Structure 1
Amino acid sequence: MSRRGHRKWRNESDSTVGVVMATSILAGVELGGTKCVCVLATPTGEILAQERVDTLAPDVTLPQIKAILHQWFETRRDISALGIASFGPVDVDKASPGWGKIGQTPKAGWTGVDIVQELSAGLGVPAVLDTDVNGAALAEMRWGAAVGLADFAYVTIGTGVGVGLIVDGAPICGFGHAELGHMRIPRVAGDTWPGSCPYHGDCVEGLAAGPSIISRSGMRASLIATDDPIWTLVGHAIAQMLHNIVLSATPRRIFLGGGVITAQPQLFPIIRRELQASLNGYVSSPELDRIEEYITPPGLGTLAGPLGPIALAAALAGQATRRPAAVA
């Protein structure tokens, strides 16, 4: 894969307001499909404060987030940057007139919302934007299990299916960010369920994300028995996506996170088995030979998402790295 197709996000994503100091505190907002998490943290990833807001209509959710941010900024004077890691699609190209805006999303009311302007207005600090899954991947690279890795994938299976594909130390990016969760894949023979994605029907997200599982089974992923046949279908869909990622990007490791995986960890052996069967010995590497280590949970666990926007903000000053202590 050409290394010229990824974004040098460390130098291009910050706004021109303010200066980030290496000893300052960082603020972050993770905008997810189900919940948003506001985080205040040190440059080494130590979380000082954390607040959750449900992802509802933008005129409900954004005022709540802004109230939290303004309270923090009014309380302390050492916050020097704001990181925003958002569900997609979102315009992450600083040269684009639509930079900072949500794209065509199935989330009602969010299409076209300028989240950077909405959240950073009046704070007087630089703001940096990327996708929630890219943010989580970069947090893993800075503080988690991807420390020392320049080429890896972070996959989240939750409200949507997203992939943070890191190549040569940065997320791949052309005219926009990757949307690998919407790729078309071969289906399990005989499975004719149409899928739930409003744009593509039976893409990976339409077959394996939380809403698709509810649509197919009538139950949330956490309530379905671990031996239910649906997990073979979900695992197959995810493995087919990984097949394409392995062959196109050859990542040295793949981390799987998100609410569906967290609720149903027995998906790991299913996905590993399905991936090996799909590759069918065509490619080999020491990494693939150790499949349990190759496809693995993120080192930061559920902190990967909330620390994503902090990793983005920390990168504005190339700040020091250290694995954060666990936070309850």
Structure 2
Amino acid sequence: MAASPLVAGVELGGTKCVVLIAAGPDDIRAEARIDTTTPQETLDAIDERLQQMRARHGFEAIGIGSFGPIEIDERSADYGCVVNTPKPGWSGANLLARARRFAVPVGFDTDVNGAALAEGRWGAGRGLKSFAYVTIGTGIGVGSIIDGRTVKGLGHTEIGHLRVPRLSGRTWPGSCPYHGDCVEGLASGTAIKAQAGFAANELTRSDPVWDEVVHTLAAAFHNLVLTTAPEKILIGGGVGQGQPHLLPRIRTALLESLNGYGVAPRIAAGIEDFLAHPELGNRAGPLGSVALALNALQPGE
């Protein structure tokens, strides 16, 4: 089998960016981290790193996995831009214009879709036709893979902003500036800190805020099971992977929510494999941008 080509990856996150040159997880030639500040400063710094890395290593394509919302519809005049984000100053920022100056193929998608593609190439999604990658951190994002491709249409999916039934007796309005008590507004790291007054890693396992987090995430995964039929749901992110008590509770709550319907018995039989952590861990995001670059260079693979 021929070796994979060297490509450039840019994971553009809400607080930091990772720029790397790689052919895959076992062949990373260069990597740099950049703080996400203003669009001008951040994109200037990314452009500079890419130029330096190209001079030293070369690359055949660029992949950009970005925080959202972003416009991924190539028919849109805003294709390649950040749209309607609560992150100050970033709405309308064009993420593709500079990358195109390098005159190589460019892959562009959400950071969580990229992470899902990386898990499909090198991680826990290998050999699966459909699965979902969920990141639970400052926000909540879901990358859904169906027949090996990310779900795209009018835009990208935003399952973190679904509305789900509230836990009985809970009236906290939620932290999402757009939807209040959506999934992200109730179960993200931001929501946990806003409701409890402490960051997730400062809370005890018995803190009552976890009850609503578990209930909310199980409801979101219930919807995922019945809409995209994933063969596996992978849970990453600082909260998703940083709280060992969380995954077993969500498994139990999901099975209770499905209540034996449809594929629920098959899920129950393999629940520890169905609802699991990603194999690539916190490297899924940066490697997702590499996967996007490889897909742009090798369409259809």
TM range (shorter): over 0.9
Deviation of the 1:46 alpha carbon: 2.2
> Which one-letter code corresponds to 2:276 in the other structure?
T
Secondary structure of 1:152's aligned partner: strand
Report the equivalent of 1:194.
173
Tell whether the 8 Å contact from 2:25 to 2:287 is kept in structure 1 after alignment.
Answer: no
Distance 2:242 2:4 in 1: 37
Distance 2:110 2:122 in 1: 18
Secondary structure of 2:61's aligned partner: strand
**Pairing 1:42–2:23 present:** yes
> Which one-letter code corresponds to 2:107 in the other structure?
V
Pair 202,109 (structure 1): closer, same or farther in 2 beyond 3 Å: same
Pair 318,123 (structure 1): closer, same or farther in 2 beyond 3 Å: closer
When structure 1 is superposed on structure 2, of 130-139 and 275-284 the one drifting more is 275-284
Distance 2:156 2:106 in 1: 18
Report the equivalent of 1:303.
283
Deviation digits for residues 43-64 of structure 1 (CA, Å, limit 9, x no counterpart): 5652222211222222232222
Deviation of the 1:289 alpha carbon: 2.0
Report the equivalent of 1:253.
232
Deviation of the 1:166 alpha carbon: 0.8
Report the equivalent of 1:291.
271
Give the one of 211, 232, 252 matched to 2:190. 211
**Pairing 1:69–2:23 present:** no
RMSD over equivalenced CA pairs, Å: 1.8
Tell whether the 8 Å contact from 1:222 to 1:263 is kept in structure 2 after alignment.
Answer: yes
Distance 1:67 1:175 in 2: 33
**Pairing 1:123–2:102 present:** yes
> Which one-letter code corresponds to 2:163 in the other structure?
R
Deviation digits for residues 233-281 of structure 1 (CA, Å, limit 9, x no counterpart): 1111111100100011111100000111122121101111111111111
**Pairing 1:173–2:173 present:** no
Query: How much identity, in percent, do the aligned residues show?
Result: 49
Deviation digits for residues 158-214 of structure 1 (CA, Å, limit 9, x no counterpart): 121111111111111111110111000001111100001000000001111111111
Secondary structure of 1:104's aligned partner: coil
Pair 269,41 (structure 1): closer, same or farther in 2 beyond 3 Å: same
Tell whether the 8 Å contact from 1:33 to 1:160 is kept in structure 2 after alignment.
Answer: no
Distance 2:13 2:64 in 1: 11
**Structure 1 gaps, min length 5:** 1-20, 322-328
When structure 1 is superposed on structure 2, of 160-169 and 135-144 the one drifting more is 160-169
Report the equivalent of 1:32.
13
Tell whether the 8 Å contact from 1:253 to 1:287 is kept in structure 2 after alignment.
Answer: no
Report the equivalent of 1:79.
59
Q: Provide TM-score, normalisation by structure 1.
A: 0.86
Distance 1:265 1:51 in 2: 30
Matches within 5 A, 1:5-16: none
> Which one-letter code corresponds to 1:124 in the other structure?
A
Deviation of the 1:95 alpha carbon: 1.8
Tell whether the 8 Å contact from 1:185 to 1:241 is kept in structure 2 after alignment.
Answer: yes
Deviation digits for residues 104-147 of structure 1 (CA, Å, limit 9, x no counterpart): 111111101001113x1532222110000100000000000110
Matches within 5 A, 1:128-277: 128-277=107-256
Distance 1:99 1:214 in 2: 34
Distance 2:295 2:164 in 1: 35
When structure 1 is superposed on structure 2, of 245-254 and 228-237 the one drifting more is 228-237
Tell whether the 8 Å contact from 1:232 to 1:270 is kept in structure 2 after alignment.
Answer: no
**Pairing 1:60–2:45 present:** no
Tell whether the 8 Å contact from 1:83 to 1:310 is kept in structure 2 after alignment.
Answer: yes
**Structure 2 gaps, min length 5:** none
Aligned residues: 298
Report the equivalent of 1:111.
91
Q: Provide TM-score, normalisation by structure 2.
A: 0.94
> Which one-letter code corresponds to 2:56 in the other structure?
T
When structure 1 is superposed on structure 2, of 86-95 and 36-45 the one drifting more is 36-45
Distance 1:22 1:313 in 2: 15
Secondary structure of 2:174's aligned partner: coil
Deviation of the 1:222 alpha carbon: 1.8
Distance 2:199 2:38 in 1: 22
